[in-house]
């Protein structure tokens, strides 16, 4: 499942140096105590500029093969901490995303590139903008007691935005950490008012910001070079998100109605969405979920808003190549169901048989790289539907077996599409080729990777207590 690279705010910083020097800080990266990679922060000063070179590499196993995720951030600043330029790159599977940016005339200008797609950007930059060394100097004012609060602006390469933050040392006293060099800062976003706790490492003078993979936090621990470069542990991120099925479900059962009994291991309520294909009854801390692809056709749902026809960052239905693909093979007066089945075949042909688990490509990017997993299949199908002015939304959940999870009596994380048709949301699954009673919706989303961090975390807490096939309904019965 390509629910990876969620919330990566790569804000590592450079340490000050009074003369030409170079120093490296190493970390090992882990998931649940299992080593999955390492990072190196290399700091250098030549007497005129500060240079910071950050590199992280994670090795992840998916369906018996290994893929690497690599992150690079290179920054140049003046000795006084004024930002000059940066280069950022993230490589995941076949997807390579780059940002080159430089400060000129009070603006941060640059180019964002994914594959062959290049897009320039130009952002107003105030004097508060800092990179690594500038951030280290501002935090130094807090730690020394010179200032009670400092205001910074920082650039997020993945989003191409500059946000303003107020940092405070009010929470530093009394904090207890396993690492004595680690202290806490209170950070408030001056644009949204949102507050966070930031972790600052005094020895390396750097900010430890969250990195998540499939909704799970990556732990970062300072170690020696030899420890950082030691062999990784085997970690199959797809298998980590699979759930055991109470029994093997037959093809006949998948084509009918199945009732599931679900619960969270932590005892919290599930709050699952309902619709014509999925009904939910809450019984204490458990939820009874009934799924049927062809049932309840008379159930009326609220009319969708216009937003379900519009393009987004991840569902680029307004892109020329997507509009052209959506019209391929179209017939006059074809039904909505026939249109969607045609679009499903187009997605399958476009993305081929190559499964690429790492990264997170948008619909337009998926067309270019011609590979992906269920996320790319869903995003491209939603984009094609919206290009035909069909209201469509991406849903996330779990599904019984698949080529994405290796098959067997288990449920794996999955994404598919629902479109509005005759007063109800109807599901289409380009990844599997069909929608059946083995699909359980956990959340409706906007197609962004951030929207599914919570879903991945929910799957880790989810338990399928029981499941059973229900008798078929007559045309006059309701589930």
Q: What is the pLDDT of residues 291-328, one digit of tens each?
A: 998 775 556 778 899 999 999 988 999 999 999 999 99
Number of Cβ atoms within 10 Å of the Cβ of 192: 9
Q: What is the pLDDT of residues 349-376, one digit of tens each?
A: 998 755 565 667 888 888 887 777 888 9
Q: Which residue has the higher pLDDT, 7 or 77?
A: 77
Could you give the residue ranges of the DSSP H alpha helices within 12-166?
Answer: 132-143
Does the structure show a pLDDT above 60 at 101?
Answer: yes
Alpha-carbon distance 50 to 205, whole Å? 14
pLDDT of residue 365: 84
Quickly state the pLDDT bin for 406 (edges 50, 70, 90): low
Question: Region 433-439: what's the mean pLDDT?
Answer: 93
Does the structure show a pLDDT above 80 at 66?
Answer: no
Quickly state the pLDDT bin for 53 (edges 50, 70, 90): very high
State phi, psi for 139 to the nearest 5 degrees.
Answer: -65, -35
Which CATH number fits the domain 241-470, given the four candidates 3.40.50.720, 1.10.287.180, 3.30.565.10, 3.10.620.30?
A: 3.10.620.30
Quickly state the pLDDT bin for 234 (edges 50, 70, 90): confident
Could you give the residue ranges of the DSSP H alpha helices within 144-267?
Answer: 225-228, 237-240, 251-254
pLDDT of residue 132: 93
Alpha-carbon distance 222 to 26, whole Å? 6
Alpha-carbon distance 431 to 93, whole Å? 18
Which are the contacts of 115, defined by CB distance < 8 A and separation ≥ 6?
95, 96, 365, 368, 369
Q: Where are the domains of the chain?
A: 21-233, 241-470
Alpha-carbon distance 418 to 395, whole Å? 7
Q: Which residues pair with 166 in a beta bridge?
A: 151, 188
**What is the signed CA dihedral for 242, 244, 250, 256, rounded to 10 degrees?**
-80
Spell 202-215 as b/e; 16+ CB within 10 A means b.
eebbbbbeebbbbb
Q: What is the pLDDT of residues 168-210, one digit of tens each?
A: 976 444 455 567 788 888 999 998 888 888 888 888 888 887 7
The pTM of this model reads 0.75
Does the structure show a pLDDT above 70 at 156?
Answer: yes
- The answer to whether residues 380 and 351 touch, using CB atoms and an 8 Å cutoff, is yes
Q: Which residue has the higher pLDDT, 287 or 244?
A: 287
Spell 76-86 as b/e; 16+ CB within 10 A means b.
bbeeebbbebb
Closest CA to 441 of 330, 290, 323, 253: 290
Mean pLDDT comparison of 10-14, 404-408, 475-479, highest-scoring range:
404-408
- Tokens at residue 137, please? 């100097």
Q: What is the pLDDT of residues 133-148, one digit of tens each?
A: 999 999 999 999 899 9
Closest CA to 71 of 58, 59, 85: 58
pLDDT of residue 405: 52
Which are the contacts of 420, defined by CB distance < 8 A and separation ≥ 6?
303, 304, 308, 390, 391, 392, 426
């Amino acid at each position: 499942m390509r629910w990876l690279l969620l919330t990566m705010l790569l804000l590592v910083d450079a340490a000050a140096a009074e003369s030409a020097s170079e120093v490296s800080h190493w970390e090992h990266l882990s998931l649940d105590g299992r080593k999955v990679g390492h990072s190196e922060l290399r700091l250098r000063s030549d007497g005129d500029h500060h240079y910071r070179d950050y590199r992280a590499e994670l090795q992840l196993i998916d369906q018996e093969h290994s893929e690497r995720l690599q992150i690079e951030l290179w920054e140049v600043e003046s000795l006084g901490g004024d930002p000059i330029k940066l280069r950022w790159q993230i490589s995941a599977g076949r997807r390579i995303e780059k940002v080159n940016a430089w400060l000129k005339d009070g603006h941060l200008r640059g180019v964002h590139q994914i594959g062959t797609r290049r897009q320039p950007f130009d952002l107003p930059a105030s004097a508060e903008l800092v990179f690594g060394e500038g951030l280290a100097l501002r935090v130094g004012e807090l730690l020394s007691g010179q200032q009670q609060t400092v205001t910074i602006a920082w650039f997020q390469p993945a989003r191409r935005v500059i946000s303003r933050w107020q940092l405070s040392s009010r929470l530093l006293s009394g904090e207890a950490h396993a690492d004595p060099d680690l202290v806490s800062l209170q950070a408030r976003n001056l644009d949204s008012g949102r507050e966070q706790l930031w972790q600052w490492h005094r020895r390396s003078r750097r900010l430890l910001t969250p990195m998540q993979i499939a909704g799970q936090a990556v732990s970062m621990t300072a170690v020696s070079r030899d420890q950082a470069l030691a062999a990784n542990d085997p970690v199959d991120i797809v298998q980590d998100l699979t759930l055991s099925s109470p029994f093997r479900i037959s093809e006949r059962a998948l084509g009918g109605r199945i009732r599931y009994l679900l619960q969270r291991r932590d005892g919290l309520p599930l709050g699952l969405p309902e619709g014509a294909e999925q009904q939910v009854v809450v019984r204490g801390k458990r939820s009874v979920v009934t799924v049927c692809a062809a049932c309840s056709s008379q159930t009326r749902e609220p009319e969708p808003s216009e937003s379900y026809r519009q393009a987004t960052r991840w569902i680029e239905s307004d892109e020329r190549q997507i509009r052209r693909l959506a019209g391929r093979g179209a017939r006059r007066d074809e039904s909505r169901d026939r249109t969607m089945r045609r679009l499903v075949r187009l997605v399958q042909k476009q993305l081929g048989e190559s499964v690429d688990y790492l990264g997170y490509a948008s619909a337009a990017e998926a067309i270019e790289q011609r590979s992906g997993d269920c996320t790319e299949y869903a995003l491209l199908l939603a984009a094609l539907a919206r290009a035909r002015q069909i209201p469509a939304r991406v849903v996330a959940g779990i599904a019984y077996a698949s080529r994405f999870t290796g098959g067997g009596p288990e449920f794996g994380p999955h994404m598919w599409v629902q479109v509005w048709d005759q007063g109800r949301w109807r599901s289409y699954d380009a990844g599997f080729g069909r929608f059946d009673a083995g699909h359980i919706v956990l959340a409706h989303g906007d197609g962004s990777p951030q929207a599914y961090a919570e879903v991945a975390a929910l799957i880790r807490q989810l338990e399928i207590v029981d499941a059973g096939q229900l008798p078929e309904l007559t045309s006059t019965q309701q589930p």
